[in-house]
Structure 1
């Protein structure tokens, strides 16, 4: 799970002193990759994970010394398999660079703006120029529509689009700056819209909200679609399909799952949804049923039927896991896109 949304929420709303730890480089294998982050607050509370438990305690101790200091980079060599080294017998066989940054008032303000932009459905990129010992000398946030903010002195690299267009977070050497730059792309929470509030929707909503999805549940039955059954959902819509669809501003990022278990409702919904540009439409039931919903026409590529990965799932919880596994698999796939026009 990507904890950045939870980290930003806490870091920008709670006045506690805190340190942000971010993996900026991995050589070999490691539990988590570049971009993974953890917030360490002055009282010792943490949000997010950096490793499988190997590094967190040491990072907490180092963070205590950094609450008023400058950023620094810590290198952990996990290649050794003896218990006296950082490898601790885990055999991860990787070298990890972790950037520690004290969240002062200026950074908190910029993180708050980052959080707002993500809440509004925008991608945001960050460039962090790294100086001696990989400490941060400049940082710049920017969006596809050219909004910029941060603490950056001097000229911004001309190849900013090319730098940010790389597919994953990590270090890039920039000749123009004669230094390394850490680049990361932040994306809005993926949104899962569940039509139908039956017994199989309950674990799906719960698991999805716990794994980083923003969840909307819609059903025309108030006895089923309520906070008691869906405490983790971000929004509940009590309405019949056609009315519910008018209340949602769909986006190409959205994942939608049809769980009404009623043929006519699914048929009406599917007709409406196919008019939208959606990342994923999952339909419960067999392919034959879905073809009948479509009037025997070919099933579009973004319509997944039967919904979920084929793992022999039975019962609401297992079916929810199979669906969520497919959503996570698709969420991790993305094609490079231009940063700015």
Structure 2
């Protein structure tokens, strides 16, 4: 999903037409599955990932041809069966067939994607549906808000009536999970970057204006300056949020803990930087579920970058356990 959000943010930015490539169907094995997408811009910039590198150049050629020809949509079929360098598989070990739908992002589609992005940021789930003929010719698409959270099925389904037979691609798009990073020190920078690259929406909070700058946190979605009480009023914490406390200020950390206790949420993850003894003193009589301190997996991490890896490894392990 994180690749989709990265692609979506680039797709709605700027005025130049770009081409969206989306895997809509896979037969057999492939490096990436249905829902994987990639964006091709006229200046050569590419966002996202479709394969292990064996298809990108041909996709870029077809994207360029779409923009030049005035044709807005095309479905390409790639067989990865060949194990030598003469085939699309290029010895990658994949043996499947990929159906990749290319679509020019014109002004109308860009407007739809902006609405989609706003809906996702507001916490709504969206079902993305694309209709194809049995030969994978494009028929139409729509984005529909849905309350369904459980099923993450992505791919093609048959739909047959007395008058027509269509292939229906469906993908459930859910809001990004948020990481709330309390602390804007230099050691928070690699964590913010890595969390964003792993697909999380990152909010950084700090009380020092000189540190809370986009130049230090270019990957952050939001920066909140102020006190713990003001942060909580603006963030609107949810139970599936991930909280990381690393302000390096005991009193500030304690105020954050007090605010969390007032909210009374069963947060998915609370990671606290510092020793176990410091954290026990910090929590005092407060009891929280899912507190992790010292923060991060015990992998012998040293330095901000490695500690960021250990924290993300712990979070990913918890989310998938």
TM range (shorter): 0.7 to 0.9
Structure 1 unaligned regions, length at least 5: 146-160, 334-341
Structure 1 position 190, deviation (Å): 2.8
Whether 1:279 aligns to 2:279 is: no
| Count of residue pairs the alignment pairs up | 315
Structure 1 position 4, deviation (Å): 2.6
Residue number in structure 1 paired with 2:303: 315
| SS of equivalent to 1:115 | helix
Structure 1 position 12, deviation (Å): 3.0
Structure 1 position 320, deviation (Å): 0.7
Aligned mate of 1:115, from 117, 128, 134: 117
In the alignment, the residues of structure 2 paired with residue 112 and residue 221 of structure 1 have an alpha-carbon distance, to the nearest angstrom, of 33
Aligned mate of 1:100, from 99, 102, 113: 102
Structure 1 residues 244 and 27 mapped into 2: Cα distance closer, same or farther (>3 Å)?
same
Structure 1 residues 168 and 286 mapped into 2: Cα distance closer, same or farther (>3 Å)?
farther
Which digits, 9 at most, give the CA deviation of each residue in 1:72-111, with x for residues without a partner?
3222222321111111122123322211123334323322
Structure 1 residues 42 and 201 mapped into 2: Cα distance closer, same or farther (>3 Å)?
closer
Which digits, 9 at most, give the CA deviation of each residue in 1:135-186, with x for residues without a partner?
22121211126xxxxxxxxxxxxxxx7xx96323212223456432111122
What CA RMSD, in Å, does the superposition of the two structures yield over aligned residues?
Answer: 2.8
Aligned mate of 2:225, from 197, 218, 238: 238
In the alignment, the residues of structure 2 paired with residue 25 and residue 35 of structure 1 have an alpha-carbon distance, to the nearest angstrom, of 9
Q: TM-score, normalised by structure 2?
A: 0.85
Does structure 1 conserve the Cα–Cα contact (< 8 Å) formed by 2:134 and 2:165? no
Structure 1 position 35, deviation (Å): 0.8
Structure 2 unaligned regions, length at least 5: none
1:297-336 to structure 2, matched below 5 A, reads 299-300=288-289, 302-329=290-317
Q: TM-score, normalised by structure 1?
A: 0.80
Structure 1 position 256, deviation (Å): 1.3
In the alignment, the residues of structure 1 paired with residue 17 and residue 192 of structure 2 have an alpha-carbon distance, to the nearest angstrom, of 33
1:171-210 to structure 2, matched below 5 A, reads 171-176=156-161, 178-210=165-197
In the alignment, the residues of structure 2 paired with residue 208 and residue 141 of structure 1 have an alpha-carbon distance, to the nearest angstrom, of 27
Does structure 2 conserve the Cα–Cα contact (< 8 Å) formed by 1:2 and 1:36? no
Structure 1 position 291, deviation (Å): 4.3
Does structure 1 conserve the Cα–Cα contact (< 8 Å) formed by 2:128 and 2:143? yes
Structure 1 residues 115 and 19 mapped into 2: Cα distance closer, same or farther (>3 Å)?
same
| SS of equivalent to 1:134 | coil
In the alignment, the residues of structure 1 paired with residue 233 and residue 170 of structure 2 have an alpha-carbon distance, to the nearest angstrom, of 38
In the alignment, the residues of structure 2 paired with residue 230 and residue 13 of structure 1 have an alpha-carbon distance, to the nearest angstrom, of 19
Whether 1:142 aligns to 2:141 is: no
Does structure 1 conserve the Cα–Cα contact (< 8 Å) formed by 2:28 and 2:96? yes
| SS of equivalent to 1:65 | helix
1:1-341 to structure 2, matched below 5 A, reads 2-67=2-67, 68-69=70-71, 71-144=73-146, 166-176=151-161, 178-274=165-261, 275-287=264-276, 289-295=278-284, 299-300=288-289, 302-329=290-317
